[in-house]
Amino acid sequence: MTRHEATAQIIAAQQAKGIKWTEIAARVGHSPAWTTAALLGQHAMSAPEAAAATEALGLGPEVALALQSFPMRGSLEDPVPTDATIYRFYELIQVYGPTIKALIHEEFGDGIMSAIDFSMDIERVPDPKGDRVKVTLNGKFLEYKKF
Amino acid sequence: MTRHEATAQIIAAQQAKGIKWTEIAARVGHSPAWTTAALLGQHAMSAPEAAAATEALGLGPEVALALQSFPMRGSLEDPVPTDATIYRFYELIQVYGPTIKALIHEEFGDGIMSAIDFSMDIERVPDPKGDRVKVTLNGKFLEYKKF
Amino acid sequence: MTRHEATAQIIAAQQAKGIKWTEIAARVGHSPAWTTAALLGQHAMSAPEAAAATEALGLGPEVALALQSFPMRGSLEDPVPTDATIYRFYELIQVYGPTIKALIHEEFGDGIMSAIDFSMDIERVPDPKGDRVKVTLNGKFLEYKKF
Amino acid sequence: MTRHEATAQIIAAQQAKGIKWTEIAARVGHSPAWTTAALLGQHAMSAPEAAAATEALGLGPEVALALQSFPMRGSLEDPVPTDATIYRFYELIQVYGPTIKALIHEEFGDGIMSAIDFSMDIERVPDPKGDRVKVTLNGKFLEYKKF
Amino acid sequence: MTRHEATAQIIAAQQAKGIKWTEIAARVGHSPAWTTAALLGQHAMSAPEAAAATEALGLGPEVALALQSFPMRGSLEDPVPTDATIYRFYELIQVYGPTIKALIHEEFGDGIMSAIDFSMDIERVPDPKGDRVKVTLNGKFLEYKKF
Amino acid sequence: MTRHEATAQIIAAQQAKGIKWTEIAARVGHSPAWTTAALLGQHAMSAPEAAAATEALGLGPEVALALQSFPMRGSLEDPVPTDATIYRFYELIQVYGPTIKALIHEEFGDGIMSAIDFSMDIERVPDPKGDRVKVTLNGKFLEYKKF
Amino acid sequence: MTRHEATAQIIAAQQAKGIKWTEIAARVGHSPAWTTAALLGQHAMSAPEAAAATEALGLGPEVALALQSFPMRGSLEDPVPTDATIYRFYELIQVYGPTIKALIHEEFGDGIMSAIDFSMDIERVPDPKGDRVKVTLNGKFLEYKKF
Amino acid sequence: MTRHEATAQIIAAQQAKGIKWTEIAARVGHSPAWTTAALLGQHAMSAPEAAAATEALGLGPEVALALQSFPMRGSLEDPVPTDATIYRFYELIQVYGPTIKALIHEEFGDGIMSAIDFSMDIERVPDPKGDRVKVTLNGKFLEYKKF
Amino acid sequence: MTRHEATAQIIAAQQAKGIKWTEIAARVGHSPAWTTAALLGQHAMSAPEAAAATEALGLGPEVALALQSFPMRGSLEDPVPTDATIYRFYELIQVYGPTIKALIHEEFGDGIMSAIDFSMDIERVPDPKGDRVKVTLNGKFLEYKKF
Amino acid sequence: MTRHEATAQIIAAQQAKGIKWTEIAARVGHSPAWTTAALLGQHAMSAPEAAAATEALGLGPEVALALQSFPMRGSLEDPVPTDATIYRFYELIQVYGPTIKALIHEEFGDGIMSAIDFSMDIERVPDPKGDRVKVTLNGKFLEYKKF
């Protein structure tokens, strides 16, 4: 079973069982963001994590095995995403990309925010004018090494 | 003076004067992220904001006028950014795009995080294993209206 | 059943039964534009809406379930559409895009017309020189928030 | 003077004089949408129209001459626009393109909405929950001729 | 049966039976160009036309039904065609596109040759130095309407 | 003087003098289509042809020299043209490309219509329902040689 | 059987039988280059040629029929080939394209080397420093006709 | 002086002086193909070669210096060339690319024809039915090394 | 069995058996890099190599046969890889491409590092601050031949 | 002075003075690879490093200032490089990308080789069959953090 096939079965099972991503994450023992990304084919799980996830979804051992493989990362069909919910984040890079770069360099010097030593959190912030989505990206600063 | 010419003068003046983006932001009265984005050609300033910014940078009234124009947004030369500091954010969308979508829908229903009614903050988080970059994205949830 | 498979079954059923999109919309209780877009895989229906739609089309509960999933939006195979009926709308953006932007900014200030808090209507306007297609786009103005 | 140079002068003059596109349109005698599109390099003006426009903008006869040339249409730098205000209209085609096609065919048969025998109107619709942008597209239905 | 499946069956049947496109066109009652385009998935047929075509090809009623659907037009796999016979026509646009535009505008004013109210004819012109292909494109001139 | 600079001067002179492409063609002694394409940078002229053209346009000998150079052909800025008048011809290839191929092969066997041993004519066809543009493409059939 | 399916069967049979392309070519009666190109889906064979080829490969009459169809030419999956052996020829066009153009024009005047009235030969040239591949391209010069 | 500027001066001088590429090649002491490619910015010359070339063209020492720089190779503006004379060679790769690969592998085993240890020759082959262009590509076979 | 199918079976078998790439390489008798690339569809094996590999993986003779075919090289789905582990190497070309070119030319003169007469090694370098990946690329220098 | 302008001056000065990149690197006090990359616009230098570099090149303080700015990284004009010396490295990713990924994961687990905490070395390896280019890439392994 390829990783793509496993992802398709996972999405189908999640919808059919009506189980929430956050519930599966609780069972797996990681954050909703990491767990959902792993289930959608972007991270490799350990054997116990994969077992917990597939048990929650009612899926078999081949899916659990596939979840432990190292995935070929990348989940967009096109360089520019077409789905509005995802596109807005691409738009933020179009508007704020050089700003983020300028402010990171100003504060830290030449380097990057790691996308590997990284965590992400998505929260709902109640607001009388309409609740807000708060996404926190947290990555280690990595300095360009001179050599 | 076009907006692009104004941006080029602003970058040159900022480097020549050695003034920080955060200092200009303090003078303009907005966050570093919004102010830097405006100065890099992505937002329109009010007349007083533009005056404060150009005074801080030692630039003339044509730049101030240009800063008040509505910019054609978009700051990447290619659909996929090549600069490593910016690319890492694009990579996050490749890895976490569908995850963000799934978790927003699970929590809020069908809709998006607004990139217009939106704010962003970049912080340094001290950490003994290496300081971290924390980027907070905060946008109003907008629900798809059925009609 | 994936959303794509559901869409394929819906199109086949609509043609085989000869039922009009507007008739299904009337049964679903929404406008033809919203309903057709949902049936073509671009919006999520509620359970009763999905039930009404699949009943009208003579399709089963798996299709109804799929219609309630949050779709990955985007219906064009290529960035530039090739079908003439759809292309003409892309051409309008090529010709009028900056004009629309200039007039929205002139009237409202810096911001956008929402594509989320949005409705659309398509009408036939009788005309002795040839009937006309009238498409009305109606979206909430969203002002760029300074922060 | 090329058409591109004329457009650049027009944008600069419009901003410097602080004259509104709608005011120029009133002087030219056409709608704001058509006039602005012509001034932004997408339509050819007659000699009197060009004279009225350049007079309003305080520009010389070479600009007026350029405005009478037949422009090479197309105003987007990339196939997918990056500016948020313009992008939302592209997004509407991604979401509603096949829907518009289906409803036009259902109502009129096989054919298109003309983008040539066409008019457009942009209005502000007051709304207590936030004013709305209403864009009306009105084009002659053209039936595919069998031959 | 989707339109693509119908097209595949039609091509297979045409080759297997050895029937000419021009013969099918004669039975359908339209020109070879229109009829072949319809059979290759680019036009919608009426019920009698579809019946005549499928009878000529020995195909069943599902193909006839599919031929009556409104196709998603566009028959090239890539924006630039790779097949030499088709590419030469693309090359003509590369070489003569602005020339055609200049001469149409000079003769008719601002507007286009319709690709909808349009007919095409392909003829063999005997020539002692080698027979020639003559392709005649005939479309209604559509004038850009000022509004 | 590069060929591009010569083309720019020619377009400017043609507009400033108000001379028609067809008039220049008559002086050059070739068809309007060939002459206009040459003047727009797509064909090489002989010395007498270039002299006649530049005399008609009131341009100097450097332009005449440039007109005799072998141009790098290709006049579209993008693979898919954005100008509506030119795009319609691209659309015809999208709709009729495989049809043209099928009918050429059916009539002539395996080969192409030459785009080199080729002529083109653009005519106005009066029609009470609206005059028509008639474009005739005439190219030698070239048979694929087996070897 | 589509042409693509025939090509797949041919490649499989050629490998399974261990028969050389040059041997099949000898049986078909054409050069290795033409014959291999035809077998790989780029040329149409006559009935006897197709019979000889399929007999050599041990394939059935449906493959022979498919080999007689006029193929949609073009064998690269991407505009720029990725396979090293094929890429080197693309690289030659990147390095020598304008050189070939300049030398053809200098020797012959304005025109092209035909890719239709064309033959190709691939030889092994023994060389003590390492044998060499010699590819000879031979095409009729076609002069641009003025009209 | 950049290499691009040198190339532009060389092309202008070659046209203004009416000197042939083959004549310059004779003076430089290399083949027309190599010399022309070098002059068009694709190869580095030695000092004496550059001196001979610039003397023949009447150009100064800065051009000679630029000709000795190592150029950034690649002479096409787009991945797919638009000029017909160059495009035909791209078309040959589309048609014969996998054929060349198959025949090289059959004769030599796994490897490539070098584009570095390579020479090219362009000849005119008289033919009563029309003279022919003969392009000979000659590159060392390089075998993939197993390691 | 196509090479792609063989690759899919190999990946599945490698995961199911839990055998390491380096172990298979030891059995095949080549380096891990060459062997893994061959198993992933990028190199042709000899019959004994293919037998050793398929025996190690528990796969049948059709896979062994496919492993001996000359593959169409190229393993990225897009010109720019999306997987982070692979992308970093692409990023290195973006940052160091012209540097590598400059230093090779400075040391060796005009030429390239061969990707054919080439070997690669991947090692783990222990480091108290975190182990390091060391990738050694070793290719024969090939000098551009003047001709 | 923009970073691009500084790079252009540096390349011109390096060629005019005939100073080697490795000599400048020795003066700057870093490796040839890092120094050349910085001089070609891909890294930020400290003030003393920039002073040493510009002194070696005979350039002024504005260049030294520009060298201290944080560059927008990315040095390829197109996603796929066209220069042969650079392309070969891109080809290596096409052939060995998934292999490198597989072997890194097998040895280290899920993660990447850092392109930030990274060094590179280019050496000449004498070889009687032709000297070789040895490029060593050395980056810290970064493990994907679960969160």
Say yes or no for a CB contact (<8 Å) between J44 and A110.
yes
Has residue A78 been placed in a domain? no
Local confidence pLDDT in tens for the 147 residues of chain C: 899 999 999 999 999 999 999 999 999 999 999 999 999 999 999 999 999 999 999 999 999 999 999 999 999 999 999 999 999 999 999 999 999 999 999 999 999 999 999 999 999 999 999 999 999 999 999 999 999
Q: Note down pLDDT in tens along chain I; length 147 residues.
A: 899 999 999 999 999 999 999 999 999 999 999 999 999 999 999 999 999 999 999 999 999 999 999 999 999 999 999 999 999 999 999 999 999 999 999 999 999 999 999 999 999 999 999 999 999 999 999 999 999
Interface of H with E (CB under 8 A): 80, 82, 84, 87, 91, 94-95
Give the predicted TM-score (pTM) of the model: 0.96
| DSSP secondary structure, D2-23, as one string | -HHHHHHHHHHHHHHHT--HHH
User: Residue G18: phi, psi to the nearest 5?
Assistant: 70, 25
> pLDDT by residue for chain G (147 residues), tens digit each?
899 999 999 999 999 999 999 999 999 999 999 999 999 999 999 999 999 999 999 999 999 999 999 999 999 999 999 999 999 999 999 999 999 999 999 999 999 999 999 999 999 999 999 999 999 999 999 999 999
CA distance F129 to chain G (A): 32
Q: Give domain status of residue I24, yes or no.
A: yes
Q: Which residue does chain F place closest to E84, by CA atoms? A: F112
- Distance from C-alpha of B45 to C-alpha of B28, rounded to nearest angstrom: 9
Give me the amino acid identity at I138: N
Tokens of I116: 């054919």
Q: What is the mean pLDDT of residues B95-110?
A: 98
What tens digit of pLDDT does each residue of C5-45 get? 999 999 999 999 999 999 999 999 999 999 999 999 999 99
For residue G31, the one-letter residue type is S
Q: Are residues B61 and B21 in the same domain?
A: yes
Q: What angle do CA B23, B27, B29 make, to 5 degrees?
A: 110
Residue F63 and residue F96 in one domain: no
Burial F61-75 (b: 16+ CB within 10 A, else e): eebbbbbebbbbbbb
Among this protein's residues, is A91 annotated catalytic?
Answer: yes
Decide: C86 and D101 in contact? Cβ < 8 Å: yes
Residues of D with CB under 8 A from a CB of A: 80, 82, 84, 87, 91, 94-95
Say whether both I24 and I49 belong to one domain: yes
Last residue of a domain, one of F67, F94, F123: F67
Task: Decide if pLDDT at D1 tops 90.
Answer: no
Sign of the Cα torsion A105, A111, A117, A118 reads positive
Q: Are residues C98 and C48 in the same domain?
A: no
Q: Mean pLDDT over residues A24-33, rounded?
A: 98
**I98 and I45 inside one domain:** no
Which of E91, E119, E132, E143 is catalytic? The answer is E91
**C-alpha span between I75 and J92 (Å, rounded):** 10
Q: Is F65–H8 a contact, with Cβ atoms under 8 angstroms apart?
A: no
B59 vs chain C: nearest CA distance in angstroms? 23
Question: What does the angle CA E126 – CA E129 – CA E132 come to, to the nearest 5 degrees?
Answer: 40
Contact E94 H82 (CB under 8 A): yes
Domain end call among E11, E32, E67? E67
- My answer on whether B26 and B62 are in the same domain is yes
Pairing of strands I111-125, I132-143: antiparallel
The rounded distance, in Å, linking the Cα atoms of E54 and E10 is 8
d(CA G48, CA F146): 14
The Cα–Cα gap between D73 and C96 comes to 10
Question: In this structure, are G8 and G54 located in the same domain?
Answer: yes
Q: Give the residue on C whose Cα is nearest the Cα of F90.
A: C82
What is D86-125 written as a DSSP string? HHHHHHHHHHHHHHHHHHHHHHH-SEEEEEEEEEEEEEEE
Given the residues I88, I119, I132, I143, the one annotated as active site: I88
Look at residue D72 and tell me if it is in a domain: no
Task: Write the residue in D8, D12, D83 that is nearest to B74 by C-beta.
Answer: D83
Q: Does C95 lie in the same domain as C44?
A: no
Q: Do chains A and J touch (3 or more CB pairs under 8 A)?
A: yes
Do J16 and J52 belong together in one domain? yes
Burial of F133 (0-12, 13-18, 19+ CB in 10 A): buried
User: Can you tell me the mean pLDDT for H114-125?
Assistant: 98
Taking CA atoms, J106 is separated from B41, I19, I74, I122, in Å, by 46, 10, 22, 11
Under DSSP, is residue H74 helix (H, G, I), strand (E, B) or coil? Answer: coil
Domain region containing D24: 3-67
**Contact A72/I83, CB-based, under 8 Å?**
yes
Asked about F55 being catalytic, the answer comes back as: no
| Cβ atoms within 10 Å of F13's Cβ, excluding its own | 17
pLDDT-based confidence at H63, cuts 50/70/90? very high
I106 and I63 both lie in a single domain: no
Do the beta carbons of residue F139 and residue F117 sit within 8 Å?
yes
Phi, psi of I108 (to 5 degrees): -115, -15
Assigned domain for G91 exists: yes
CA distance G90 to J16: 33
Sign of the Cα torsion C2, C8, C11, C12 reads: negative
Q: Which of G17, G57, G72, G89 to mutate to test the interface with H (most CBs of H within 10 A)?
A: G89
Query: Is residue I23 domain-resident?
Result: yes
Q: Using the beta-carbon criterion (under 8 Å), do E83 and G76 form an inter-chain contact? A: no
Chains in contact with B, where contact means 3 or more Cβ–Cβ distances below 8 Å, are A, C, D, I, J
Cβ-Cβ contacts under 8 Å, B119 against chain C: 145, 147
Task: Evaluate whether residue D136 is within a structural domain.
Answer: yes
Sheet holding B132-143, edge to edge: A111-125, A132-143, B132-143, B111-125
Tell me if C44 sits within 8 A of C71, measured CB to CB. yes
8-state DSSP, J41: T
Q: What is the CATH number of the domain that holds G60?
A: 1.10.260.40
Q: How many folded domains does chain J comprise?
A: 2
Asked if residue A72 is part of any domain, the answer here is no
What tens digit of pLDDT does each residue of I90-110 get?
A: 999 999 999 999 999 999 999
Question: Quick check: is J132 catalytic?
Answer: no
**Which of F85, F86, F87 is best to mutate for the C interface (most C CBs within 10 A)?**
F87
Please report residues of C whose CB lies closer than 8 A to that of D20: 106
Q: Is residue J99 part of a domain?
A: yes
Q: With a cut of 90, say whether residue J97 has pLDDT above it.
A: yes
Q: Which two tokens stand for residue A121?
A: 């959190």
CB spacing of H142 vs I114 below 8 angstroms = yes
CATH number of residue G108's parent domain: 3.30.1160.10
A43 with A93, same domain: the answer is no
Domain boundary among B38, B67, B96: B67
